[in-house]
Structures are given as structure tokens and as C-alpha cells.
Structure 1
């Protein structure tokens, strides 16, 4: 049996019913059915990113996942940036379809957790602090995803993952997945060593063949070197004020210069720079370019975690999952071999 076929059993794999302790992030836009299904079919746990999508699209994407795999998956929603009526309808679409798991992010919404639990769903909650981890667990979350400041996309964590992860692992009883800058098996091995039960990856899968991201975005990820991401609240239109993101440097971050913080979406002009499926994309809004997006792609939010320099190719999701596992097992064995009496 080669290393890619071996696994590391953890409380996370047991709770989620997957073979490998790898969750693909429910990235709004890029994490459609093709990606979620590919990760689950490969042995990980795929999440659909359905943030602020219509109930009809959610139902369609859930059905599409099930056409591709019979393995467990989940749907990611963000209550804090979704209008209450839409959130209610989104949840209803998920529950009507019998989704096995829901993932939530940003502020801990105890009511959303309670609704998901009543519907028979497992609940994963992505948090950025020890206090929120405990709050989510107390509200009924089955898995905590702890996000460090190294993460790409919307960043709720304000501290480094290597410090925050063991603190959260010590504070809660449920399985904990590490998120932020992890793109390879060394990251998985490190997360396990720090008390985590697995990992939650965005950037690694954003550059996959199955990702619904635009090829331009994927190519920028592959070409990126060290120190090419920016932590800022510049791209904030469509989200509440004070919502940091991590993106690749581009013309917009360069134009901002030293003023990377303090932007209010209500005070920013709405300048259309592109379209996606007929919908306008404004300069400095939170929409990243997807497969059907047209316009000034370079100026859009090109989300990326801080580990992007180690993403070197656009690969199938299965290859990414298997490579991460093989690297993690090799790293753990090498570390064990280095221990001598």
C-alpha cells in the first residue's frame, strides 16, 4: 500500500465519516459541486460554498454533489453577512435536501446551530478565537474550525494559527480542524502536533481543476511567491464594515499604499468593473472572479492564504488530497525516526 492510500484516523475523521482529516473550505463562489464532490470522493470532506446564493441554486448544487459521489459533504453559509429572510430560505433548502452537515462562519449564531441540529445535521463552525470556539461548542457545534490570521479570503482570526490552535484544542472537547496557510502535508503534520484533529484548506483547493474560480485567479496563485498576500479591509463592499480579507497584491492594494484599513462599505462608490452571470461586480467588492466572470479581473479580490508560495500547479482535487496525505505521513515518520534515546 503506498502512502497516499494510508490514512491518519482522528476524532475529526470519525465525527465526519471521512477517510482523511482534510476539509476543503466552503469558499463562496469557487466551492461549487464539482469541487466539493471531488474532495469527498477522494476521501476528504467537501464543503459547498453557498454564501448568499439562491435556494434554487443551493438545491441544484446539492443534487449535483450527490450525482458525483455518495460520500458525506456539507454546505457553508455565513449568517452575519446574509439577510435574515434569505438565510432562512437557504437553511430550508439545505434541510429539505437532507444535507448531512452545515458549516457556519464569522459571528457565532446559536440560533443557526440550533436549527441545523434540529434538522439532524452535524455542525462545523469556523471561529477565530478561543472565546468563540467555546461559544460555538456550548451552542452545539460538533466540529470547530480554528482560523489563524494567515488564512485567505475573509479572515476572522487575528492571531497566528500556531498559537491559537493549541489554545482552542485545550479549550474544547469536540474535534478541531486547523485553518490558515496550510497547503501541504507538512501543514497537516504540524496541525496534528499542535493538538488539532485535521485541517481545513482553501487556497490549496482554490487552485484545483474542479474549483469554480477563474483560470486567471488560479494562475495568479500558482505564480505567487512568498510575501505576496495582503491583509486588509479594502475589499469590503457587500460585507459589514470591519471585515478583513487576505488577497494577492494587485493594482488596488498598490493604489491604496499604506491605507489598507478603515474602509466603510456604505461610503465607497459603486464602480462596475465586471460582470458575472449578468450580475455587476464593483471595484473593491468581495466577489472574486469565477469561471464566467468578465471584466477587469486583475482589479478584483484575488483571495489567497499566506502559504500560497507552495502552491505550484493546478491539479485535480484528488491529487491534492492524496499528496497532502502522503506528505503528512512521510513527515510524521521522519520526525518519529529522528527521536533517539
Structure 2
């Protein structure tokens, strides 16, 4: 069995957290991840606050299972009712990202809720420690969905591990046991995964989206604001989103300044979203999408990641350490 902070202190079977993916990662997915031995998260954007209670009930189940909720800090500054609803749902873990979590730390701790935040630079990680968060999620630029910063997962992880003492998780580019094993071997306490769950039936994607996800390669994503700008969404400029390339990004990614006035293009996107036409509508996914090759229940994905990483670490550590020492002794 793998032994990290998440397994020894939290009692998880696997040191794996399902990322809070807005729109597609709701109660069913969170429940499936938690039942499999990880910790599932519900992603909340700017939907009605009532959605939180409904999805939290699904994630909790009749056995009062643990789950988490992910919120965007910039959104709750405008919509404090979202934070109130999240606290009322009493998740095990609350993630506050895309803005400073500092104003909310004390209150969440008073309610017995652990706090995580995603960081994209070493400086953000150090600041988060000063804010007294419980968990830092290092998010590399190859992650799916909205990100900030310009640093890839591996160099960012190394920089943060050298700078902080709180538990660190890794997000971005992890979709197989090899990725989980690499993160744990480097010193992370666990992984934060989303893209590898996008084709799971518990994810709120329709079949047309799953087909495109399974067909995508690791080179088929783009970091863009085109979808947010076209829909008039309030995401701040510093947070573009990594999505699958399609006709809409090809046409508008480099013409963002004209997109707010392009009423025909904006209507085209709205129609495509309603009709599930992903030649135009968005599918947010990370560079690890090329590793997602079949539809698989979320629980099976978590089991495969955790068990596979354990096998890899046992075998690889034996080869690197015991095998090398034995061969050296033989030569002597």
C-alpha cells in the first residue's frame, strides 16, 4: 500500500484527488472517486448556490462519505452565497483557487473544513503557506481547464517542494500510473487528476464529447480565452483555459480583441453548446488527454492509477537501489 500524508492522515486508500471540474465534475463523479479510495471533488463555477446542496448530497451518499468542493476565489468575491452554500454542505476539503484564499482560511477552519489552493508559481506557494492553507496543489500549465502562470508541472513541483513544508499535490499531465509514481517519487503527497476521468460515465459529458476526448492526442489542446470571451464569462484575463482545439479556436484564438463585437460568432458558439457540436463548443482537457484511450468507470480509473503506481514504485525502487547495490557487490 502507498503511504503518504493522504493515506496516513486522511485515511484514503490511494493518494488521489479528483479535480473539481466545473460543469462536468459533479456529485456522481465525486462519489465514484471517493468510493474507489480517493477523494472526489465537486466543481462549482457561478451556477445557482442551490446546486451545491444537491450535488453534495449525491457525493455524500447515505453513508455520509467524504468529498470536496472546488470554488473560484474571484467568483465568490462577487457571489458570497456560493461560499455560504459550500460551508453549509460541510465538505471534508474545500479548494479555493484563482485568487487569494487568505480572507477565508480562519472561517473554514472554524467549521472544521480543510483548505487547499492551486498555485502556479513558487511565490504563490510560499504565500499560501503564510495564509495557513492545509494543502498546496502545484498546477502545471499543461493541466486542463483554467490555469495561470507559464511553468510546466515538473519544474514547478521541484521549485515548490524546495520552498514549503506543507503537503503538496501535483496537477497537470497525470493520467497513468507512471505519472502518479513520478509525482510520489519526487516528493509529492498525492496527485490531483481530472483529464483522465473525462471519458468516465460518471462525468457529465455527453457521448459526443467522450468520442472526441478518446480521439484526441497530446498535441490537440490549446490554452485560450476564446470560449470565455465569446460567452461573456467573467474569468479574469490572467486565467485562460486549456481545451481541445477545434474550428472555433482556429478561427478566434488569435483575434480575441474582435470577438466581443462578433455577434454572429458568439451566436454560433451558443448554438453549438446547445446542440453539443464540439467542432465549435468547448471541451476543456489537459495535455494528458492523449493518454485517455477508452471509456472506463471512474472507480476503475482510480484503482488502476493507485495500484499501478504502487507496482511501479516497488519494482523501480528495487531496480534502482537493491539491484545496483547487488551488482556493485558482485563486481567487488
* Deviation, structure 1 residue 265: 7.6
* Deviation, structure 1 residue 263: 4.9
Determine which of 29, 32, 35 is the counterpart of 2:29: 35
Residue 250 (str. 1) matches residue 246 (str. 2): yes
Determine which of 171, 178, 195 is the counterpart of 1:186: 178
Asked if the contact 2:101/2:117 (under 8 Å) is kept, the reply is: no
Structure with higher Rg: it is 2
Asked if the contact 2:138/2:160 (under 8 Å) is kept, the reply is: yes
Describe the superposition over 1:191-243 as per-residue Cα deviations: whole angstroms up to 9, x where unpaired.
11222111001101122110012222221111112311112232223112232
Aligned residues: 317
Asked if the contact 2:24/2:204 (under 8 Å) is kept, the reply is: yes
Residue 95 (str. 1) matches residue 87 (str. 2): yes
Could you say which residue in structure 1 is the equivalent of 2:77?
84
Determine which of 211, 223, 231 is the counterpart of 2:215: 223
- Superposition map of 1:70-149 within 5 A: 70-80=64-74, 82=75, 84-86=77-79, 88-149=80-141
Structure 2 distance, partners of 1:68, 1:147, is 33
Structure 1 distance, partners of 2:48, 2:298, is 26
Determine which of 1, 25, 45 is the counterpart of 1:51: 45
Residue 20 (str. 1) matches residue 14 (str. 2): yes
Asked if the contact 2:246/2:278 (under 8 Å) is kept, the reply is: no
Residue 203 (str. 1) matches residue 198 (str. 2): no
| TM-score, length of structure 2 as denominator length | 0.88
Could you say which residue in structure 2 is the equivalent of 1:302?
283
Structure 2 distance, partners of 1:246, 1:100, is 28
* Deviation, structure 1 residue 164: 0.5
Which has more helix, going by share of residues?
Answer: 2
CA 1:264/1:130 → structure 2, altered by over 3 Å: closer, same or farther? farther
CA 1:159/1:134 → structure 2, altered by over 3 Å: closer, same or farther? same
Structure 1 distance, partners of 2:110, 2:236, is 29
Residue 332 (str. 1) matches residue 313 (str. 2): yes
Asked if the contact 1:241/1:265 (under 8 Å) is kept, the reply is: no
Asked if the contact 1:162/1:194 (under 8 Å) is kept, the reply is: no
Describe the superposition over 1:292-320 as per-residue Cα deviations: whole angstroms up to 9, x where unpaired.
x5353321121111111111111101100
Residue 271 (str. 1) matches residue 266 (str. 2): yes
SS in 1 for 2:61: helix
SS in 2 for 1:123: strand
- Superposition map of 1:168-187 within 5 A: 168-187=160-179
| TM-score, length of structure 1 as denominator length | 0.86
Describe the superposition over 1:34-64 as per-residue Cα deviations: whole angstroms up to 9, x where unpaired.
0000000100010001121222111111112
Structure 1 distance, partners of 2:275, 2:206, is 9
Which structure 1 segments of 5+ residues have no match? 1-6, 275-280, 284-288
Could you say which residue in structure 2 is the equivalent of 1:4?
none
Q: Compare 328-337 and 317-326 and name the one that shifted more.
A: 328-337
Runs of 4+ in 1 over 4 A off after TM superposition: 262-270
- Superposition map of 1:61-72 within 5 A: 61-67=55-61, 70-72=64-66
CA 1:165/1:158 → structure 2, altered by over 3 Å: closer, same or farther? same
Asked if the contact 2:252/2:259 (under 8 Å) is kept, the reply is: no
Structure 1 distance, partners of 2:36, 2:257, is 41
Describe the superposition over 1:150-174 as per-residue Cα deviations: whole angstroms up to 9, x where unpaired.
1011012421111000211221111
SS in 1 for 2:7: helix
Structure 1 distance, partners of 2:222, 2:112, is 39
Instruction: Let me know the Cα RMSD of the aligned residues.
Output: 2.2
Describe the superposition over 1:67-121 as per-residue Cα deviations: whole angstroms up to 9, x where unpaired.
26533211100021x16352x2111112223222211111223113333222221
Structure 1 distance, partners of 2:150, 2:10, is 27
CA 1:250/1:69 → structure 2, altered by over 3 Å: closer, same or farther? farther
